[in-house]
Amino acid sequence: MPNPSHEPVSLASLRPGASVEVVRVDGEDVLARRLVDHGFWPGTRVDVVRRAPFGDPTQYRLRGFRLALRKSEAARIFVVPAPAGP
């Protein structure tokens, strides 16, 4: 049975401090491809670090580096809470 707390949500909806795991990137277009090229493939662990002073973009940490995405891009990435880890 699907657990409601593990229903994938968009990365854009999360607040700084959240730690998540990528489930999928929506779409078949260039943007989706680009996001995968930048490390967002299923299983990737992502930390939401901080928002810029005007509320957008947001800084993420993944695969050992730091990346800024606007809400419009982050909305394509669907995530579930990361299993508790180090």
Q: Tokens for 3?
A: 């657990």
- 84 scored as a contact of other proteins (CB under 8 A): no
Q: Tokens for 54?
A: 């005007």
Answer whether 22's CB lies under 8 Å from 86's CB. Answer: no
In whole angstroms, the minimum distance from the beta carbon of 7 to other proteins comes to 24
In whole angstroms, the minimum distance from the beta carbon of 48 to other proteins comes to 11
Q: Which of 12, 39, 75, 80 is close enough to bind other proteins by CB under 8 A? A: 39
Closest CA to 46 of 25, 71, 21, 65: 21
Q: Which of 6, 7, 27, 50 is close enough to bind other proteins by CB under 8 A? A: 50
- 21 scored as a contact of other proteins (CB under 8 A): no
Query: Other C-beta atoms within 10 Å of 64: how many?
Result: 6
DSSP code of residue 37: H
- 8 scored as a contact of other proteins (CB under 8 A): no
- 70 scored as a contact of other proteins (CB under 8 A): yes
